[in-house]
Structure 1
Amino acid sequence: MHAERPPYTAKRPPAPIPEADGATPVGIVRFKRDTLAIVGSNEQAWRIVGIGSSDGALRASVSESIDRLVPLADLSSFHALLDAGSASQPPAEFDARIRRADGTPIEIACWLSLLPDATGRKDAVCQLVMIDVTHKRDIARSRSRARRAKELALAYDVVFLIEPGERRARCLRFERDERIARLGSLRISLTDALDYLVEHLAAPWERAGLRAFVENACHAGEGNNLPSESPQRIEFTGAGEAAGGGRLREAVLMDAEGGGFFLCSRIVDRAASDEPAALVPRARPAGAAPREADAGRGNGDPRVTIRTFGYFDVFVDGRPIAFRSEKAKELLALLVDRRGGYVTSADIITALWENEPITGQLRTRCRKVALRLNRTLEANGVGGIVESVRGKRRIVPELVSCDLFDHLSGSADAGADFRGSYLKNYSWAEGTLAELMQEGMRR
């Protein structure tokens, strides 16, 4: 006879961390650095991940390794963040994505530090302090997307918001069909949206190319932002239209933050070619003289145009860069405002966080913003326009075309561009605006 097996006994969840006054606004989790096993936590941490006090078995299971809360696609990056954070001396700040017990993805802001264990070893236990910032980030993204959509609608007659991770899309503008444009507040199936777009935008022989272009970006962007290696722009023969059917169209993909992207389309001025759909860069009009910013660039290098008079925007081969981080965009504007001079971290913090004291935590945030700017520029193939030397950064004026630089150089065709408005997005630009106004009065 076989001996009876002892009944299953669930492992104990980690010891609770005492909370002051019965509640703490942040989640606190302590785990072993080598095994990632959770050894202590407070109730707010469990509330964030949606595991109640009555579900001790689930708590015990999750406590075997903190990375059980992380989506599989994010595991490698999460481990890299933990390794980098635990190797730094002060508490390291970073953002991460995890999943609640019901599978809902959430975003958390984290601070990681090292604690001594019972034996006095100082690097054996990590403490992770976290705050659920999902709702706050969703609101910020929603506002940013709405603002960006209005800007794009000025230049494109078709604007769709694609959310690959949720397999949904929203029509924000479709000039040729008001019925579907009225659905702008509703999310529709990504498959239905793609079928509709392909049929109504492309000529029959171009539809397969347009569909593959969008589907490849959707597949690569599921759960993440539009990757830099994805095609960004395609030209194709448009579907027959009432006015001049078969004209050449372009479709452009632009990052919309939070794992989504905008799909925009418009008619291109050039006549349709007989070539199949392919990536076609914007070219300088025939006969146009090369500008000073083109000097030293190879024929295949992208052309960067920066607009400072009015609102700040950056264009690569005529396509606007959709900055994922507003602070990263503001940092680039600050570098442009300094006209090629080096800007220190203290200068950046004073301008971008003007009401906050310079602390170690703020310096970390500044480095993260600079890193995001570098990634955005590299993703658009223009990483070389910003130069960094020993923590100082500057724009390389020779590699860009900028209305401010042209105006200050006294270029005959640039003086008329200034109309009393400069970097309207940013309050710190008022000093330069005053200089421009005074100069304009002297001319």
Structure 2
Amino acid sequence: MLVKRWVEQILESESKGGFLLFFAALLALFLANSPWAASYFALKEVPVGLRIGEFALEKPLVLWVNDLLMALFFLLVGLELKRELLVGELREVRRAGLALSAALGGMAVPAGLYLLLNAQGAEARGWGIPMATDIAFALGVMALVPGVPLGLKLFLLALAIVDDLGAVLVIALFYTEGLNLGALAWAGAVLGLALLLNRLGVRWLWPYLLLGLPLWYLILKSGLHATLAGVLLALAIPLRLPRPFQGATREEEPEALELELETLEEEVEEAQSPLHRLEHSLHPWVAYAILPLFAFFNAGVALAGLSLGSVAFGVALGLLLGKPLGILLGAWLALRLGLGTLPEGVGIKGILAVGFLAGIGFTMALFIAGLAFAGELLDQAKVGVLGASLLAGILGFALLRGFQARASRPEAL
């Protein structure tokens, strides 16, 4: 099946990228606490600029990574979300209901636990940090356990995508200051033009990508975080369903897809939408370059003299306890109220293991931490994210491997 092949390719690149992400973070921590620490921190602040006539834009190197390269990551997040809503796991109400309810629980409970320890002052601003899930790390850990049902992998993928959407909304609504309405209006005009191209049936990618450059700059100047331009641009990228989906019912899709692939393989490949082409082109760059670079520039924190405070403990509590508890509670409510159904071969034990894996916040958690804090509070948040993510990954792996080892059939998960 074409859709299954797309999903398997995504899962494979996410899993492998998770391991590279881990080593990039370790390297950053090592350098930040080594004799080369001064050079590491100086590298992050190297000014890099672009000047064309009267136009000039200059930022420290770390902000080019966080604002520009991460916009491509958010573009990929937007593409994945659009695909999942239209042709993936989230297009069926009952499957989407389970992932949505679990994701909402997995965002609300960690934020609540964080605020229990940091209800007032500057520390309260970090409530969004433990809401995030790092899909690359989570799938990478899951890949270490053989025989995990595909349904559980798809549930984690759908959960993390909904989680990413929640993080995008949190960034847009709560980590934005001083809007420039003029720049925002121009950004809306550029986005409107991209949507018009979609409406007119333009299937070349280059017009959308060219419009993405001024959209990114205008969002940057508007006061919103520049990375949100990636999500907005994804809304305009055309998604035309492969021929087997057109007019097929859910029951007919497997047979229709199989027949089409057997007899009209070339035609199906040609029918891949601009969204699918861009998504598959972006995946290797994001997984193997952009996210490791982000980890390298953001995971390094000098541990000498750092005192752990309520921010670090709040983040750790939210990720380690809040994530599995919230996801389990949200999934239970969806099942109890008939709003969702468990994937084939998946039981409540598998949901619990996914809950711990979702406690690996890392990339998005570090990203939000950088928006919420600076200085010592940022260092505390980073320590909380890194420590909790490591423990959550170990616990998730141990639970998943233990459940799988005791199971005589995959359905026992």
Fold shared by both chains (TM-score > 0.5): no
TM-score normalised by length of structure 2: 0.21
Relative contact order higher in (CA < 8 Å, ≥ 6 apart): 2
Higher strand share: 1
